[in-house]
Structure 1
Amino acid sequence: MRPENWYLTDDLDEFLSRAGDFLRSRPALHTVPLTVTDALRRRGMHLYGREAPLFGLLEAGDGAVRAALLHTPPFQINVTALTPQEADALAVRLAGLGRSLAGVSGPKDATEAFAAAWQRRTAAAVAVGKRQRLYRLGELTVPEPRPRGRARIAGPADRELLIRWFEEFEEITGGVGQDPGNWADARISYGGVTFWETDDGTPLAMAGATPETAGQVRIAPVYTPAALRGRGYAGAATAEVSRAAREAGASEILLFTDLDNPTSNGLYQRIGYRPVSDFAVWRFGD
């Protein structure tokens, strides 16, 4: 596998025209590139940072796309499934361009292969930052006992709370730094966050959802302030968002969990989510 076989571009339209069918062919496994490219298309190429995104694809001899990547600095590079040879060729290509990478995210085996290749080619320190599992909703089961309260879609008056909760969520999960105000504005614009709140209107937890693209919706983020955890609020909010996505016509409703958090993994399975595949995030250092 030669490094030059990887085609790289900063043109989103060109990337989607060439790789779009490939991404849509497996919408669950490709949920991240599908939702990120959709957000870039709708909200601008510098949505995630000042540096321009980079896209890439790898074609087989018959012209069919077999792998893809996207990089929206300062986030990690995201890759689809790769063989070790494909991962090594990509590492050579990106290292040759002097591309700075904070890490890699994607399917477990692909990220492990790319991290090893990146270390070989750049001598960078690499370490697993997060082990994840992708789940798909089967039969929705509302968790019992249902906590007191009700669901409500967050609106403009909730902007400051959304910003604060998103900042807290990012701190806990080790987020890379998407602008909280931009995130809140985007979610408010399409009703992308649902609160579970008290009967008098005090928010207790939130569950978000990405816009539908290629038939799939991903639930994220799910957050409850520390003092309110363990009372079923996050489960109730997640069940409500999942129900709404299904009723709106999404064919696949997905979410990622941190495998080091058995509480959330157990919760989502009780709601009706079933494992699809394991993913990982690797972090790179000097």
Structure 2
Amino acid sequence: MFTDSHCHLNFPELHGNLAQIRAAMEQARVTRALCICTTMEEFGDVHQLALDYDNFWATVGVHPDTEDMTEPTLEDLVQRAALPRVVAVGETGLDYYGMEDRKGGRTIADLEWQRQRFRTHIRAGQIAKKPLVIHTRSSSDDTLAILRECGEADSATQAGGVFHCFTETAEVARAGLDMGYYISMSGIVTFKSAQHLRDVAAFVPLDRLLIETDSPYLAPVPYRGKTNNPSYVPFVAKQIAEVRGISVEEVAEATSANFDRLFKGVTQ
């Protein structure tokens, strides 16, 4: 019924409890999950989850905030994207959040390596014909500009994809939608302070929405502050249903159908 389109089940907070998490998913009617890769070093573990369980799939990519790890080449990404049960490239994108505190006082100009890495991932998605899982944080102007620069506004060349864990404005959502992208809502949409995201969740066409946990992070209300896991994704669907005035079942059905349409090759 429900599909978690973005989680990190290989992370130590979750991997050691996988049997319990899978049982909780079954009880919560969460039938599928996409396991997201954030470094080349972890790809083998992420991919193995998808090989071991018929309701898990995998991506390949290096998170924009990752430093001091293997820098992926175009060939690295394209080869791994072609492996069985790998259905997307990412997560990739840009992250300028907390420049002074988190990045040692570097400027946005100093983060050209992030932008070059993003371009490499976009090209890999286009060559592999696999959608992109986009992370954008305090960087939406550059994210959108690079997507356009690399041909993602042209249906003839684009890889397509999803803006995951969406936290930006309705204007950014509209720009993504105009390029044919999907918008994914996480547990943040349930937070008291996130009315602007509830407005976005009401605005985005139902056939372009996905839901996710981004677990182990960002557990939805009523579990905020706890370790998140895919069995909590129905709480995201419940919030979207409330703001749209429809049933949770309708949200589950639509977002799961959207998952099938975006990530070609997945099945129930």
TM-score greater than 0.5 by the shorter chain: no
Q: Which has the greater radius of gyration? A: 1
Q: Which has the higher helix share?
A: 2
Q: Which one scores higher on RCO, CA 8 angstroms, separation ≥ 6? A: 1
